[in-house]
Structure 1
Amino acid sequence: MSTLARSARAEWGSLYLAVRGTWTARRWRAVPLTLGAVCLTGVMHVVQHQAWGYQVVQDLGAVRAEDPLWLALLRTPLSLFVPALDLPVWGALAQILIVFGIAEMCLGWWRTLVVAYVATLAGTLYARVGLALGPGNPIGLPASDARVVDTGPSAAVVGLAVFLGWRYGAYVTAGAVIAAMVVEVALKENLAGKEHLAAIAAVLVLCAVAAVRQRRSRARAESTSGAPPIQS
């Protein structure tokens, strides 16, 4: 086995085995969330490009930092499936199909949904904090970003990629994703890039919480297995 093959196996072996096992056993039945998300994103794309549908989609899923917080939180769940108007829809569909699909086969649909929404919500809330800090702060935002429409699955995709990398030991991949997002902000400082970093920060907190819970579970299991037998 070549050095490259050994490195790839060490990096992605656990993830590959998890995906292969689930796919072999259940095929497309293993990814109902992913298929639903792809279909919903496609429908949102078609509707928002109709004369009658643009405002409907905006009212249901377009989030702006200038909106009242309660309205932004209400729209955030659907905003994940509203592709950005200035980007090709196939990019959003491919991101969802690949990253959501892998995550759903490895984590299950509800964990995938939780991580995706935590990442998306972190980006949405960061925008308000960034505006409050202002452009003079390294993590602040200019006032003009308050009117930027904030939709799409990119923050969720980035968050899921980092979480999967941590969960299955693909640390180089997770690090590469984080590094790419840092470079994105360094080269093109915009709202989307900084929201990606906020999403990563929120997911890293999830990873830390999960790691603590795992250590406690192992400690309890070892304590129980090592307890002396009860004398009758």
Structure 2
Amino acid sequence: MTETRARTAGPDPALPLDGRLPAAPLTASHGTAECDPERFVRVVGRTVGRNLRREFRSIVVEPVRALVRRGLSGVLLAVFVSAAVLLLHAVDQTRTGATLVRLTSHVRGDIPLPLVLLRTPLSLFVPARDLPALPGIPVLFTCFALAQLVLGRTRTLVVAYAASFAGTLGARVMLAVGPRWWGLPPEAAQVIDAGASAAVVGLFAHIAALKRAPVLFVCAVVPTVIRSVEKPNLAGREHLVAITVAAALGLLAGRERGRTRVPHVEPSAV
């Protein structure tokens, strides 16, 4: 009896003739939720604020805590490097001292590479020739202090040496290329290398890349990049090479640290 009524009842008048269900109409609230500019601004603001807090914690809070915990030993490398730069600057002011500094720490593009390898460690403490030494000491001290607190003493020296030596090798390649493209003219071989400034900007770039700190990179590295592009001399090219190599090492180190980090496992509920 029920089946007979179902056959004779005919199609449901609420359904269309083709039997398809009508599509649900789009409400105004649904369309505006996806394109709400206020919501977009809030999301972007929360993301930026979260990243800034993370960077402030990793670049300021954690190094300060390490400094309080370790005391003067946490920045001993910065004290030593600053004192060495000031000492070399004072010795370089005399005739005999200038000769001694030139023979032991000056690196140029026209000297043999084995001699460059011997002079490069001491060249890290040579102040830039075109900049006064005393105003650069606070930046030098801050850079090496932050690097020692974040990276450790040994890794700070390795990154500083790698950045400086990479800039030196890059300059020699540019001298071999010549003045075309991104090369350097032959007279640039007589110019003394960047010295401590390449190590400083390289350390800042390494820390910024390792800690994913864009504010530190913009404040401490981007001005050097702009000056190097505006004034394409030997020191500027060395700075660009040092920044590239140090930042690449920081990104690789951060990636390896992320792989070896032990994941946190929540305890199962009993």
The TM-score range, normalised by the shorter chain, is 0.7 to 0.9
Post-superposition shift, 1:20?
1.2
Q: SS of 1:141's equivalent?
A: coil
Post-superposition shift, 1:11?
3.4
Note the 1:111-190 alignment, pairs <5 A. Answer: 111-137=155-181, 139-175=182-218, 177-190=220-233
Alignment gaps of 5+ in structure 2: 1-44, 266-270
Q: SS of 2:95's equivalent?
A: coil
CA shift in 2, pair 1:208/1:165, >3 Å: closer
* Aligned twin of 1:22: 66
Per-residue deviation, residues 19-69 of structure 1 (Å, max 9, x unmatched) = 111111122121121111111111101111112110000000000011000
Note the 1:33-182 alignment, pairs <5 A. Answer: 33-137=77-181, 139-175=182-218, 177-182=220-225
Post-superposition shift, 1:178?
4.4
What amino acid does structure 2 have at the position aligned with 1:90? Answer: L
Higher mean C-alpha deviation, range 90-99 or range 76-85:
90-99
* Aligned twin of 2:23: none
Post-superposition shift, 1:176?
5.0
The answer as to whether partners of 2:228 and 2:239 remain within 8 angstroms in 1 is: no
Q: SS of 1:140's equivalent?
A: coil
CA shift in 2, pair 1:214/1:86, >3 Å: closer
Greater relative CO, 1 or 2 (CA 8 Å, sep 6+): 1
- Distance in 2 (alpha carbons) for counterparts of 1:217 and 1:10: 20
- Distance in 2 (alpha carbons) for counterparts of 1:55 and 1:142: 26
* Aligned twin of 1:229: none
* Aligned twin of 1:230: none
The answer as to whether partners of 2:109 and 2:189 remain within 8 angstroms in 1 is: yes
- Give the alignment partner of residue 206 of structure 1, picking from 230, 239, 249: 249
What amino acid does structure 1 have at the position aligned with 2:79? Answer: L
Post-superposition shift, 1:149?
1.0
CA shift in 2, pair 1:39/1:59, >3 Å: same
TM-score, scaled to structure 1: 0.85
- Aligned Cα root-mean-square deviation (Å): 2.3
What amino acid does structure 2 have at the position aligned with 1:22? Answer: A
What amino acid does structure 2 have at the position aligned with 1:204? Answer: A
TM-score, scaled to structure 2: 0.74
Post-superposition shift, 1:167?
2.3
What amino acid does structure 2 have at the position aligned with 1:124? Answer: T
Post-superposition shift, 1:170?
1.1
Note the 1:186-197 alignment, pairs <5 A. Answer: 186-197=229-240
Identical columns (%): 39
* Aligned twin of 2:31: none
The answer as to whether partners of 1:92 and 1:152 remain within 8 angstroms in 2 is: no
CA shift in 2, pair 1:20/1:119, >3 Å: same
Asked which structure has the greater CA Rg, the reply is 2
The answer as to whether partners of 2:210 and 2:253 remain within 8 angstroms in 1 is: no
- Distance in 2 (alpha carbons) for counterparts of 1:178 and 1:124: 19
